[in-house]
Amino acid sequence: MSAAADHGVAPTTARRFTGLLGVVSLVVGWELAARALEGAFILAAPSDVAVWIVQNAGLLGRAFRVTLGNAAAGFVAGNLAAVMLAALALAWPRGERVIAGLALLIFCLPLVATGPILRVLYGPGPGPQITLAALAVYYTTFVPLLVGLRAAPSSWFDLVRSYGRGAMAELVHIRAAAALPYLFAGLQIAAPAAFLGAMVGEFTGAERGMGVLTIRATRALDVDAIWALATVAAAASMAVYAAVGVIARAVLTEPPPVILSPPPMPRTGGARGRAIVLTTAAVLGFALLLWWGAMELFDLNRFFAKRPDDVWAALVTAPDAAETRATLAQALRETSVYLLPGFAAGLALGTGMAVALTLLPAIGAGATAVAVALRSVPIVTTAPLVVLLLGRGAVGTIVLVAVMVFFPTFVACLHGLRQAPGQVIDVLDSYAAGPIARLWHVQLPAMLPAFFAAARMSVPASVLAVTVVEWLATGRGIGSLMALSASLSDYDMLWSSVVIVALLSVAGYAGVGAVERRVLSVYAAEQMTR
Amino acid sequence: MTRPLISRRAVLASGTAGLAAAGLGLRAPRAFAQSPVSLQLSWLHSVQFAGSYIALQRGWWKEAGLDVSLLQGGPNAPVEPPVVSGAALVGISAADYTAAAVEQGAPFKIIAVAMQKNPFVIASLPDNPVKVPADLEGKKIGMALANTPVLQALCTLNDVDIDKIEVVPTQYSAQPLTSGEVDCLLCWETDLPVAMAIQGIESVTMLMADHGYAVHSQTYIATEDSLANRRGELVALLSGEVRGWEAYREDTDAAAALTVEMFPDAGLDLETQKLQAERQVPLMFSELTDTHGFGWWTDEAVAENIATLALLGRTVTPDLWDRSILEEVHGS
């Protein structure tokens, strides 16, 4: 995962001016495009959006407060859970891999399917909204915390021990302080994610909120309202992102870290292979136990709360198991046609842009600020917009996935490129090497860990994007299959989809990790020890 | 190691339970001696359920000793599970969704039918209209791919070659039609055509129910267990519905106004609601309901439903429909 912040050098007047210029030209271009497309019910002009917001200020304000309240509750619950998980991992180091694996698996559960399941569990009320918001945030806080709690020089621990103090003092005086910047980095990206989770939760039958208004506006062909809601949601997400950044700068003595990736597997060779197998088995075992145990504990009805053995039967032993598998495989194939090109394009564009901006630093500042801000725009609001603009074909979906991957990759790579050691650059400079040589020999190797961290976290993010678009817009692939299965009471299919999607996401995440180790060992061996 | 996850869930669960308890605590005095029941709606609050709002607002359920909560639906909201689990006494479903749930083991019966005529239409624009099913050949239709069986059934019923229709997968919006991407849409009579009319775009609609597509919609479902053990509550709930919908028919504008007033946070537009209220009347009321009362159906209608459902790949028997509650409602 990668979090980034517009920290570091305070923005100069020139940078502010570039940023302002960027925003103004964006709004003017938007207005002109909307005027040109008038009557097509696609794009609302900023002036119309402003009018709608003013005319519906009361309604919008109430909906916004509801969604924000649920997002905030989920934010707190999810982050508390992350802190507790990280504390447990710290207290029980041998279990850390399993805790991290389980946390990832739960993070990879598709929102499209967890939404209705949570609604059934909670009944009416804000339960699903808050839970989905919590689920959307806990992993992005948990992972940096895991790193942060260890990110202290060992001499500090020696010092505490030399005073005869124990683990508690270590935790309070060293680990907590060392983890704080990492915690803030996690909280910053968690804030917009909570907003997204709360809005998706509202689709499961909430009485009020921004998500409810979005559904209504889409059906009513109220383009002004659709764009107004998207604008407000985007602005709110950017504002909370910035607010956490401001708090972080006020609290922290050093800037928060930008690259947040889980610690690498410590062992090598055969021992590591065995550790991976053991960890995977333990994670799956605990996941099954948790799944089955929770359902038995709450005595959930088997009509919709399918147990692990029901899913096993549906996929393996039932007479129509082959048919079910074929349906799933077909849906996954349809999805991969959108997912893989979008994922690759997002990574390539993000890296390419970051490299281009490093070679041309003049335009870098403004673009970074815009990218950081746009990264926090929630996908449920962008999905209808991109589909309106690009249609329901492959292009619209691929672009959405690419956008979802592009921003984190871009921000992470840009930061990674700047991490290149100054001394090495000085050496190259003294040999009068050009910017290309510098890029190839120094900056790109320095960027790789950041790139891979972004690529790994983009796996669940792109799965989220593609399933949401399939569900809301294109009606194809696994996202649509999940929504359809829920409406047709085919809960065997729904739970099977959930299991497959979560496992594939985790596998994709691990796959990127494997590629990372191979590439780093060849191309940037010095980056292997982090 | 499972502890933190469970305790997180427990924290969340106890949090909501606390909230719910607080809510109940506040409601308790008012709800004294009333039995609480829930009605699970199939979509967001709108005039689509105005009969229920009238019954609630005029206190007809309260008179009968019921404290009714109306649970809203939504695009990702489950309807059948709350009824199966007993969280809702009655749910608003449709014959095809009910049949699918029954196939999966849900013990449902249809106890009343709000929409005698299925609301599915083919909507088109007046300069390139679809007035009869044969007009579909050579046209581009925008619809969710999930509805392909519906189109297939219509084609089979009317000897139309489905291969001559180009299906364009779209999300549920009128925009592809207004922008000319497609020639027609598969949608409900009461939503997208109404949205277009409010935006000043007149459309032509061909009601599929007029061309043999017989699938009861907005059906009231309950479990066999409720039918056996909670008959009193079912009768009271449905008689409130019947009174509510009969009052609705008297003045659809007032029903629309009440809907907008009751749900100020739903973002409802009064004119849209009035038009929708007017357009759903012919789907819900007929000579049949004039004679037998709201919610009624005939054995012939059941036979037609079974035939259409078979085209949709659903096998059902006439005992999916149970008229005993309605008979008590209208008999009393």
User: Three-class SS string for chain B?
Assistant: CCHHHHHHHHHHHHHHHHHHHHHHHHHCCCCCCCEEEEEECCCCCCHHHHHHHHHHHCCHHHHCCEEEEEECCCCCCCCHHHHHHCCCCEEEECHHHHHHHHHCCCCEEEEEEEECCCCEEEEECCCCCCCCHHHHCCCEEEECHHHHHHHHHHHHHCCCCHHHCEEEECCCCCHHHHCCCCCEEEEECCCHHHHHHHCCCCCEEEEHHHHCCCCCEEEEEEEHHHHHHCHHHHHHHHHHHHHHHHHHHHCHHHHHHHHHHHCHHHCCCHHHHHHHHHHHHHHHCCHHHHHHCCCCCCHHHHHHHHHHHHHCCCCCCHHHECCHHHHHHHHC
CB contact under 8 A, A219 and B85: no
Could you tell me the CATH superfamily of domain A318-530? Answer: MetI-like (1.10.3720.10)
Question: Is any Cβ of chain B less than 8 angstroms from the Cβ of A301?
Answer: yes
Q: What is the pLDDT of residues A416-427, one digit of tens each?
A: 787 777 777 777
A153/A357: higher pLDDT? A357
Question: Is any Cβ of chain B less than 8 angstroms from the Cβ of A324?
Answer: no
Which pLDDT score, from 0 to 100, does residue A126 have?
A: 92
CB contact under 8 A, A204 and B74: yes
Question: Is any Cβ of chain B less than 8 angstroms from the Cβ of A113?
Answer: no
CATH of domain B120-211: 3.40.190.10
Q: What kind of architecture, by CATH, is found in domain B34-117+215-331?
A: 3-Layer(aba) Sandwich (3.40)
Give this complex's ipTM: 0.79
Q: Which of A99, A216, A492 sits opposite B267 (nearest CB)?
A: A216
User: What secondary structure letter does DSSP report for A441?
Assistant: I
CB contact under 8 A, B266 and A208: yes
Question: Which parts of chain B sit beneath pLDDT 50?
Answer: 1-32
Residue A327: its chain B contacts at CB < 8 A? none
B103/A245: higher pLDDT? B103
CB contact under 8 A, A392 and B171: yes
Residue B77: its chain A contacts at CB < 8 A? 116, 119, 203-205
Cα–Cα distances in Å, from B124 out to A45, A388, B70, B132? Answer: 27, 20, 34, 11
Highest mean pLDDT among A64-68, A442-446, B263-267: A64-68
- A-interface mutation test, from B68, B76, B83, most A Cβ less than 10 A away: B76
Residue A92: its chain B contacts at CB < 8 A? 1
Q: What is the mean pLDDT of residues A248-271?
A: 60
B53/A295: higher pLDDT? B53
Lowest mean pLDDT among A251-260, A409-418, A471-480, B136-145: A251-260
Q: Do B120-211 and B34-117+215-331 have the same topology in CATH?
A: yes
Q: Is A2 helix (H, G, I), strand (E, B) or coil?
A: strand
CB contact under 8 A, B5 and A77: no
Q: What is the pLDDT of residues A384-408, one digit of tens each?
A: 667 667 766 778 888 888 888 887 7
- Cα distance from A470 to chain B (closest Cα, Å)? 9
CB contact under 8 A, A489 and B104: yes
Question: Is any Cβ of chain A less than 8 angstroms from the Cβ of B24?
Answer: no
CB contact under 8 A, A120 and B268: no
Residue A472: its chain B contacts at CB < 8 A? 75, 171
Question: Is any Cβ of chain B less than 8 angstroms from the Cβ of A99?
Answer: yes
Tokens of A432: 């009068």
CB contact under 8 A, A119 and B78: yes
CB contact under 8 A, B264 and A486: no
Which pLDDT score, from 0 to 100, does residue A528 have?
A: 54
Confidence of residue A179 (pLDDT cuts 50, 70, 90): confident
Q: What is the pLDDT of residues A197-209, one digit of tens each?
A: 898 888 888 888 9
Lowest mean pLDDT among A247-261, A445-459, A488-502, B276-290: A247-261
Q: Which of B15, B73, B171 sits opposite A205 (nearest CB)?
A: B73
Q: Which of B3, B16, B76 sits opposite A112 (nearest CB)?
A: B76
Residue A16 has pLDDT above 50, yes or no: yes
Nearest CA in chain B to A74: B12
Cα–Cα distance, A91 to A16 (Å, whole number):
46
Q: Which of A222, A225, A392 sits opposite B170 (nearest CB)?
A: A392
User: Could you say which residues from 139 to 178 on chain B have a Cβ atom under 8 Å away from some Cβ of chain A?
Assistant: 144-146, 168-176, 178
Question: Is any Cβ of chain B less than 8 angstroms from the Cβ of A489?
Answer: yes
Residue A11 has pLDDT above 80, yes or no: no
A189/B216: higher pLDDT? B216
Q: Which of B4, B75, B265 sits opposite A81 (nearest CB)?
A: B4
Residue A41 has pLDDT above 80, yes or no: no
Please answer whether residues A141 and A83 qualify as being in contact, where contact means their C-beta atoms are separated by less than 8 angstroms: yes
Question: Is any Cβ of chain B less than 8 angstroms from the Cβ of A487?
Answer: yes
Is residue B317 classed exposed, middle or buried when 0-12, 13-18 and 19+ CB atoms within 10 A define those classes? exposed
- Cα distance from A446 to chain B (closest Cα, Å)? 36
Q: What is the mean pLDDT of residues A493-515?
A: 92
User: What secondary structure letter does DSSP report for A318?
Assistant: S
Q: Which of B76, B103, B169 sits opposite A203 (nearest CB)?
A: B76
Nearest CA in chain A to B46: A216
pTM, two decimal places: 0.83
Residue A39 has pLDDT above 60, yes or no: yes
Tokens of A403: 């956008």
Confidence of residue A9 (pLDDT cuts 50, 70, 90): very low
Sign of the alpha-carbon dihedral angle for B290, B293, B295, B296: negative
Tokens of A154: 């060992």
Lowest mean pLDDT among A454-463, A490-499, B204-213: A454-463
Domain range summary for chain B, segments of one domain joined by + = 34-117+215-331, 120-211
How many residues belong to chain A? 530
Q: What is the mean pLDDT of residues A174-190?
A: 78
Nearest CA in chain A to B107: A303
Please give the share of chain A, as a percent, with pLDDT higher than 90. Answer: 23
Could you tell me the CATH superfamily of domain A43-263? Answer: MetI-like (1.10.3720.10)
CB contact under 8 A, B268 and A216: yes
Which pLDDT score, from 0 to 100, does residue A19 have?
A: 66
- Please identify which residue in the block is written with the tokens 């009601």: B207
Question: Where in chain A is CATH 1.10.3720.10?
Answer: 43-263, 318-530
Question: Is any Cβ of chain A less than 8 angstroms from the Cβ of B331?
Answer: no
Which pLDDT score, from 0 to 100, does residue A46 have?
A: 87
Is residue A85 classed exposed, middle or buried when 0-12, 13-18 and 19+ CB atoms within 10 A define those classes? buried
- Cα distance from A472 to chain B (closest Cα, Å)? 6
- Cα distance from A238 to chain B (closest Cα, Å)? 25
